[in-house]
Amino acid sequence: MSERRLETLRGFYRNYVKPFYEVAHKAREEGKLVAWVASTFPVEIILAMDIIPVWPESYASLCAARRVSVPLCELAERKGFSKDLCSYPRCVLGSLFDGENLPEGGIPRPDILVASTCACDTHLKWFQVASRIFKKPFLLLDVPYNVESANAENLPDYYIQHYVSQLEDLISLLEKHSGIGLDEGKLRKTLELSSRASELWLKIQDYRKKVPAPMGAREAFSAVYFILCIPGTEQAVDFYERLCAELEQMVKQGIGVVEDEKYRLVWDNLPLWFDLQMFPYLRSLGAVVVAETFSHVWTGSLDPSKPYESLARKHLSNMSNCAIEGRIELIAGLVRDFRANGVILPTNWGCRMMTIGETVVKKKVQEMTGVSSLILDVDSTDWRNYDEYRVKTKLETYLKTLT
């Protein structure tokens, strides 16, 4: 079965990812402030302050795609970091301990590190460790856990208030370190762009509801970069507009990403960054991933007239910050809306959030939608325990059970 490539995504790495690292490295040389930012931190603040964000998680996935992540993980393990930790920090910390021939000249060093507790303990601990290594300050946004998986509207006011007051304190600290005041007008503009990018990203997802779906996971896991890393920029909006236009054309012409679409899948958590060929392989079996939970956790509209409050609401109700019901509802919703007939639940060895509860997710999603799921015990970055043959056999067997 032949596979269609999207024009907009041609040369993605060369055109968008590479320059990103070049800019960050250059910024360092020019003495601009560089910040390490963990996902689920409201990066709009960083962008609005003209601080250069660097994403250690992205860097780890890049190292995996280039197949250098394992030797880097091993370097960290030799320094005493457990093999059972998330492979992202193992890979990135390893790269700091005399890693050689690092992709893109290594991860740009930070002047400051910012993270939130939204997603995992790993962010907190990883950045703490890095802050000790670099002897640079680490600022934390301590986000209350959303144990009811409640909509932001239903959370107690003091939850929102807690987020907002921390954000205010954190901004003054950033101002102190950078010597740049946060320009309210610029923040408003950044939030507007972020909301716009988010809308467009959701529109892109909408096109994927069509049968045949015009875009799969391979493209989504690249294109999500803008909404994840630089949502509040013209570049993000521009890219998504072009992608929308292309998808619209395809949908009009009834062109799908695979010619003969047999299976429509929802993909949870992360891809195997070191084996992105997995997706073309699935396509060769007539299976297209129509939705990823990963593509649906970074969206959310922001109200520029209430910047901090709307950031608080967005992040407090991020699925990564929620009890399991949030995940179950999201996946069941995706199955319904995207007319999926299968769900892949890859775990991630060192990530408790992506590992604990998969059995419950599987059971509940089946009850709610009638669709069965396949749990794959894998790791996104560390391939040492990866048995390609076994995983492919599992996938093939699973696909055959789908109707």
Q: Could you list the residues that contact other proteins (CB under 8 A)?
A: 79-82, 84-86, 89, 117, 120-122, 124-126, 128-129, 132, 140, 142, 144-145, 147, 156, 158-159, 161-162, 165-166, 169, 323-324, 347, 349-350, 352-353, 355-357, 359-360, 377
Question: Integer distance in angstroms from the first to the last C-alpha of the chain?
Answer: 20
- Asked if residue 139 lies in contact with residue 116, where contact means CB atoms within 8 angstroms, the answer is no
- Asked if residue 48 lies in contact with residue 187, where contact means CB atoms within 8 angstroms, the answer is yes
Could you tell which of other proteins, ligand SF4, none binds residue 178, using a CB distance below 5 to 8 A set by kind? none
**Out of 155, 353, 374, 395, the residue judged to bind ligand SF4 by CB under 6 A:** 353
| Binding window for ligand SF4 (CB under 6 A); candidates: 99-107, 115-123, 193-201, 216-224 | 115-123
Of residues 321 and 341, the one with the C-beta less far from ligand SF4:
321
Mark 123-142 with x for binding to ligand SF4 (rule: CB under 6 A) and - for no binding.
x-------------------
Structure tokens at 361: 């997710």
- Asked if residue 286 lies in contact with residue 211, where contact means CB atoms within 8 angstroms, the answer is no
Cβ 138 to other proteins, closest distance in Å? 8
Of residues 121 and 169, the one with the C-beta less far from ligand SF4:
121
Cβ 375 to other proteins, closest distance in Å? 9
| Binding window for ligand SF4 (CB under 6 A); candidates: 73-81, 151-159, 168-176, 351-359 | 351-359
| Binding window for ligand SF4 (CB under 6 A); candidates: 42-50, 209-217, 310-318, 349-357 | 349-357
- Asked if residue 358 lies in contact with residue 375, where contact means CB atoms within 8 angstroms, the answer is yes
Cβ 316 to other proteins, closest distance in Å? 11
Tell me how far CA of residue 34 lies from CA of 72, 83, 140, 214, 336, in angstroms: 23, 29, 16, 37, 42
Cβ 42 to other proteins, closest distance in Å? 16
Could you tell which of other proteins, ligand SF4, none binds residue 321, using a CB distance below 5 to 8 A set by kind? none
- Asked if residue 106 lies in contact with residue 99, where contact means CB atoms within 8 angstroms, the answer is yes
Tell me how far CA of residue 196 lies from CA of 139, 189, 234, 300, in angstroms: 28, 11, 10, 10
Q: Is 73 in the site for ligand SF4 (CB under 6 A)?
A: no
Cβ 312 to other proteins, closest distance in Å? 13
Q: What burial letters (b/e) apply to 300-319, b meaning 16+ CB within 10 Å?
A: bebebeebbbbbbbbbbbbb
Q: Please, which of residues 239-278 interact with ligand SF4 by CB under 6 A?
A: none
Of residues 191 and 228, the one with the C-beta less far from ligand SF4:
228
Judged by CB under 6 A, the number of residues near ligand SF4 is: 11
Contacts of 163 (CB under 8 A, 6+ apart): 141, 143, 144, 308, 311, 312, 315, 316
Nearest to 194 by CA among 57, 40, 303: 303
Lookup result for tokens 């932001």 = 152
Of residues 75 and 119, the one with the C-beta less far from ligand SF4:
119
Q: Is 86 in the site for ligand SF4 (CB under 6 A)?
A: yes
Cβ 386 to other proteins, closest distance in Å? 14
Cβ 233 to ligand SF4, closest distance in Å? 23
Q: Is 119 in the site for ligand SF4 (CB under 6 A)?
A: yes
Of residues 29 and 84, the one with the C-beta less far from other proteins:
84
Structure tokens at 387: 């048995």
Of residues 309 and 377, the one with the C-beta less far from other proteins:
377
Of residues 46 and 376, the one with the C-beta less far from other proteins:
376
Which residues would be at the binding site for ligand SF4 (CB under 6 A)? 57, 86, 88, 119-120, 122-123, 348, 351, 353-354
